Amino acid sequence: MNPLQEDMENALTGSQSSHASLRDVHSINPAHLMARIESYEGREKKGISDVRRTFCLFVTFDLLFVTLLWIIELNVNGGIENTLEKEVVRYDYYSSYFDIFLLAVFRFKVLILAYAVCRLRHWWAIALTTAVTSAFLLAKVILSKLFSQGAFGYVLPIISFLLAWIETWFLDFKVLPQEAEEENRLLIVQDASERAALIPGGLSDGQFYSPPESEAGSEEEAEEKQDGEKPLLEL
C-alpha cells in the first residue's frame, strides 16, 4: 500500500475516534450526573450504608436471641437466682451455658466495633469471631455433658453456631461486595462528570460530526489521485 494512502487512512481513523469520544462526552446530561453524584454523596454522609446497618442489626439480634435462650434455660432449671449462681459463681465448663452467652457477647463487641464504629472493609474481624466460636463450640460439645441436660443442651450450641456462620455469609457475600460496587459507581460518575465539564456548553454534536459519505468520497479522491500519478511516473 502507498505511504500516502496509509497516512490518509490513519488521519481519517484518528479523526473519527476523536469525534466519537467528543460526542460521547457531550451527550452526557450534566443535570443527571449531578443528581447521581448527590445521591451517592448523601449515602456517604449517612455514615453507614443500608446493607451494613442491616448486618449490625443482625449482630444485635444474635446477642439478644442467645441471651433470651439462656434466660429461659435459667428459669427452666430451678429459677434464675439459683441457676445463675450455679452457672456463673460456680462455673463448670462441662455443664454451664454461661460461656455460650459470653461467646455471643464477644461476637457482638468485636463485630460492632469493627464494622459499625471503625467501618472496616475487610473480612478479618468476622473470620476471627467465627473461628473462635466454631472451635469453642466444637470442643464444648465433644467434652461437656450438655446433651444430658435436656433440649437446651442441643439448642444453644446449634443456634450459636448457625448465627455465627450466617453473619459471615452476610458480610462476605452481601455487605462488602455491595459497598465496593457502590464505590465503583461513584468513581465512574465523578470521572464522567469531570470529562463532561471539559467540553464547552455551546458546542453541539453537529460540530464534531463527519458524514460517512464525505469520508468515503475523500478516500475515492485519494485513490484517483494515486492512479493519476502512476502514468506520470511511468512517462
Q: What is the pLDDT of residues 188-203, one digit of tens each?
A: 876 666 666 666 554 4
Of residues 202 and 103, more confidence is placed in 103
Q: Please state, in angstroms and rounded to a whole number, the distance separating the CA atoms of residues 192 and 25.
A: 7
Is residue 12 within 8 Å of 219, Cβ to Cβ? yes
Residues 64 and 54 sit within 8 Å (Cβ to Cβ): no
- Phi, psi angle pair for 145, to nearest 5°: -115, 35
Q: What is the mean pLDDT of residues 179-190?
A: 82
Q: How far is CA 80 from CA 118, 146, 158, in A?
A: 37, 18, 23
User: How sure is the predictor about 50, in pLDDT bands with cuts at 50, 70 and 90?
Assistant: very high
Cell numbers 446477642 label which residue?
A: 63
pLDDT of residue 175: 95
Confidence of residue 20 (pLDDT cuts 50, 70, 90): very low
Percent of the chain at pLDDT > 70 equals 60
Mean pLDDT of the chain: 77
What per-residue confidence (pLDDT) applies to 29? 55
Q: What is the pLDDT of residues 128-144, one digit of tens each?
A: 999 999 999 999 999 98
pLDDT at 10 over 90: no
Residue 55 pLDDT: 97
Q: Is the pLDDT assigned to residue 146 strictly greater than 90?
A: no
Smallest CA-to-CA distance from 150 within 88, 67, 78 is with 78
Q: What is the pTM of this model?
A: 0.65
